[in-house]
Chains A and B, each alone.
Chain A
Amino acid sequence: MNAGGPAARLHIDWTRCDGRGLCTELLPEALGRDEWGYPVAAPGRVRSGRDATDVPLTGAELAAAMDAENLCPLLALRIIRP
């Protein structure tokens, strides 16, 4: 991630997410899955408490993140632009 902060962030609404794993397929570098199926930010991405819920994205991941936002069956994802 460059010095000017992430290109965007992917906000996960945990009250909606049911861990169906679509987003983790679309963003394999940014997201893994925990043992219950919920998305978890890749270890290198979590620098502050916020990063676990508002996952930092690179510019190259933005298109895939938009797909995830659209395809998440529970509307649990939102892209936050800086």
Chain B
Amino acid sequence: MSAATEIAAMQGGTAAGPAGPRLFAAGAAAGMAAHLAAYGEVPRHGRDWSLAEELEASGLTGRGGAGFGAWRKFAAVDHARRPNRYVPRTGGPVLIANGAEGEPLSFKDASLLHNAPHLVIDGLVAAAAELSAGSVFIYAGAANLAPVAAALAERADARHIALVEAPDTFVAGQASAVVNFLETGRALPRDLAARLAGSGFKGRPTLVHNVETWAHTALVARYGAGWFRTAGTPEDPGTRLVSVTGNVPSEVVLEVPGGAPLDSVLASAGVGSDAVSAVLVGGYHGRWVRPDGVVLSAAAAAGSTPAGGAVRPGAGVLHVLGHGRCGLAATAAMVDYLAGQSARQCGPCMFGLPALADVMGRLAAGTGGPGLVREVERLLALVAGRGACHHPDGTVQLVHSALETFADDVRRHLAGQCQEAAPAGGAVR
């Protein structure tokens, strides 16, 4: 996997931190020596320094998809671990680095674990010290655990970190599924009545972050919030990894600053804007957009219209749909995949997603009647919010954005013509 990096808007930085690429500053497949040469030791901080405060000041958001402030979960676990006379003590907090990356279009976590495993470990070690963690896990697919195991063998301060092999399913990366897998061996999401921060793994306060979030945490622990904010925008500070896939010269992982314009990111992946029909931002649970004028920002409002030209990067996937390709057909295939990936625990997800996939399939094939769009919308409303995990909602978001972005294609499909089949030049943008 290539670790090509690109920091467009980043200037200088502070004296301490790397000024170029952040997460891959130590180069490809960095061992401990290269890692220390690039980043130095984690400094010993004084008593008044706190990682929690530093994280809050940094504005780092989760890089796994949901995009909440990383410090919030950290603070919630910090709060839950403190002795409380109403709650019996259950053992120290549990920290989990989630690299399961069930999203089929994403490979940035794999790339990170292969090239910069020590950063992820550093983040866990720093947080474990501050939170007096009882157990620390790194959860990822078998192929991505090997470099982590090699990295762990190189250092003495991380012997308490356990590696857990994640199953290769879409929902295996949902936070409650991770905890469930560690407890029971079944990577199925749970009904989240109790928050993981308060009562997660075996009832202990549990902090689950994406592996990239942990890597950024390591940098914040080293260089501080001020340095972290020297990249990105005030609303979306720092950098993030994105996996660029689809109709691209070669699939790459890029490191881009917060608030980066989508077309410039695509340009650095070698994709000319005139070759692009639409981009799926955030992966199978993300949304389709037309790229021009759109920026990637974790601060973007939720909802299916990229308000103010900003769209949430979600799991960091940019999937390019080239000109002449049919967005509805691509979406229908994704919904079909997602329906098959339902963990089949929750009725509306287990039956609603296949029904949705069926209708989307007919829409894409151009074999549906005029009532098809209304049926799609009815099913979207029916499954939205009705599951133990985010899977139905993510699917709803994908389909909503497809209906909006490909509205012209929808009309054409209902009239029985598909753009993909039509001769080039007939495409309307």
A and B touch in the complex (CB under 8 A): yes
Chain B binder among A22-30, A32-40, A61-69: A32-40
Tell me the interface secondary structure of chain A in the complex. Answer: loop
The interface residues of chain A lying within 8 Å CB-to-CB of B346 are: 14-15, 17
Would you list which residues of chain A between 8 and 60 have a CB under 8 Å from chain B? Answer: 11-19, 34-38, 40, 46, 49-53
Q: Is B190 an interface residue (CB 8 A)?
A: yes
Tell me the interface secondary structure of chain B in the complex. Answer: loop
The answer to whether residues A34 and B193 also contact, given A14-B388, A53-B385 and a CB cut-off of 8 A, is no
The interface residues of chain B lying within 8 Å CB-to-CB of A34 are: 347-348, 352, 382
Q: Which residue of B lies closest to A11 (CB)?
A: B193
The contact string, 1 if C-beta is below 8 Å from chain A, for chain B 327-368, is 000000000000000000111110110000000000000000
Q: Which residue of B lies closest to A43 (CB)?
A: B381
B347, A19: Cβ atoms closer than 8 Å: yes
Cα–Cα distance between A12 and B193 once the two chains are bound (Å): 10
Query: Nearest chain A CB to B283's CB is how many angstroms away?
Result: 19
B347, A38: Cβ atoms closer than 8 Å: yes
Q: Is B387 an interface residue (CB 8 A)?
A: yes
A14, B385: Cβ atoms closer than 8 Å: no
B384, A13: Cβ atoms closer than 8 Å: no
Query: Nearest chain A CB to B275's CB is how many angstroms away?
Result: 36
Cα–Cα distance between A49 and B176 once the two chains are bound (Å): 19
Number of B interface residues, CB 8 Å?
19
Cα–Cα distance between A50 and B349 once the two chains are bound (Å): 16
Q: Is B386 an interface residue (CB 8 A)?
A: yes
B385, A17: Cβ atoms closer than 8 Å: no
Cα–Cα distance between A36 and B62 once the two chains are bound (Å): 36
Q: Which residue of B lies closest to A53 (CB)?
A: B385
A14, B193: Cβ atoms closer than 8 Å: no
Q: Is B235 an interface residue (CB 8 A)?
A: no
Q: Which residue of B lies closest to A80 (CB)?
A: B193
Q: Is B404 an interface residue (CB 8 A)?
A: no
- Which of B189, B347, B349, B386 contacts A37 (CB under 8 A)? B347
The interface residues of chain B lying within 8 Å CB-to-CB of A50 are: 385
Interface bracket on A = 20 to 34
- Interface-centre pick from A12, A14, A16 (highest chain B CB count, 10 A): A14
Q: Which residue of A lies closest to B349 (CB)?
A: A14
The interface residues of chain A lying within 8 Å CB-to-CB of B351 are: 35-36
The interface residues of chain B lying within 8 Å CB-to-CB of A11 are: 193
A46, B385: Cβ atoms closer than 8 Å: yes
B385, A52: Cβ atoms closer than 8 Å: yes
The answer to whether residues A49 and B347 also contact, given A13-B193, A15-B191 and a CB cut-off of 8 A, is no
B190, A14: Cβ atoms closer than 8 Å: no
Query: Nearest chain A CB to B386's CB is how many angstroms away?
Result: 5
Cα–Cα distance between A50 and B387 once the two chains are bound (Å): 10
B385, A49: Cβ atoms closer than 8 Å: yes
Would you list which residues of chain B between 215 and 268 have a CB under 8 Å from chain A? Answer: none
Q: Is B168 an interface residue (CB 8 A)?
A: no
Cα–Cα distance between A18 and B347 once the two chains are bound (Å): 7
The answer to whether residues A14 and B348 also contact, given A49-B393, A78-B193 and a CB cut-off of 8 A, is yes
The interface residues of chain A lying within 8 Å CB-to-CB of B345 are: 14-15
Query: Nearest chain B CB to A11's CB is how many angstroms away?
Result: 6
Query: Nearest chain B CB to A82's CB is how many angstroms away?
Result: 15
The contact string, 1 if C-beta is below 8 Å from chain A, for chain B 377-409, is 000001011111000010000000000000000
Cα–Cα distance between A73 and B346 once the two chains are bound (Å): 16
Cα–Cα distance between A16 and B384 once the two chains are bound (Å): 18
B385, A13: Cβ atoms closer than 8 Å: no
The interface residues of chain A lying within 8 Å CB-to-CB of B347 are: 14, 17-19, 34, 36-38
The interface residues of chain B lying within 8 Å CB-to-CB of A13 are: 191, 193, 388
Query: Nearest chain B CB to A8's CB is how many angstroms away?
Result: 14
Q: Which residue of A lies closest to B393 (CB)?
A: A49
6 pairs, CB–CB < 8 Å, chain A vs chain B: A11-B193, A14-B346, A15-B188, A15-B189, A18-B347, A34-B347
Closest CB pairs A-B (n = 6): A52-B385, A14-B346, A13-B191, A38-B347, A15-B345, A36-B351
Interface residues of A (CB under 8 A from B): 11-19, 34-38, 40, 46, 49-53, 78
